[in-house]
Amino acid sequence: MSATIESIRDDFAFLEEWEDKYRYVIELGEALPAFPEAARDAEHKVPGCVSQVWLVSDRGDGADPVITFLGDSDAHIVRGLVAIMLALFSGRRASEIMAEDAEGLMRSLGLDEHLTPQRANGLRSMVKRIKQDAQVALAENV
């Protein structure tokens, strides 16, 4: 994925209208890498999301492994939110993932005020799943 969390923050700061920000979120989702069809199953589905969201993690080696994530959704805006979460978390060490404040990011982008309660809950479920994967990675490598 080419968008970094820093570039996403900068782009959000540049865009003034929420219609433009929503369009940008959708564009972020469209830029996600292809998601493997075989992973569109119950094991990879994120519970608590109204839209379908799937998440795959790949853990590196070591006591504090780097974890990369792939994700997808069947809804355009949610797919863009997946892209934002992947920009925030993917490719980072498990300890960094555990320490990251995703809620703070959402507030800084203004998304906390502009998402429906269902989408916000789904986003929290996705963050919970990502952090659970990081926690398991840390616990298994102690």
Catalytically active residues are 49
Say if residues 46 and 126 touch (Cβ distance below 8 Å): yes
The amino acid at residue 37 is E
Q: How many CB atoms lie within 10 A of CB 136?
A: 14
Under DSSP, the state recorded for 31 is: T
Largest Cα separation within the chain, whole Å, is: 47
Q: Tokens 């490598």 correspond to what residue? A: 141
**According to the 3-state scheme, what is the secondary structure of 82-106?**
HHHHHHHHCCEEHHHHHHCCHHHHH
In the three-class reduction of DSSP (H, G, I as helix; E, B as strand; rest coil), residue 16 is classed as: coil
Structure tokens, 131? 């952090």
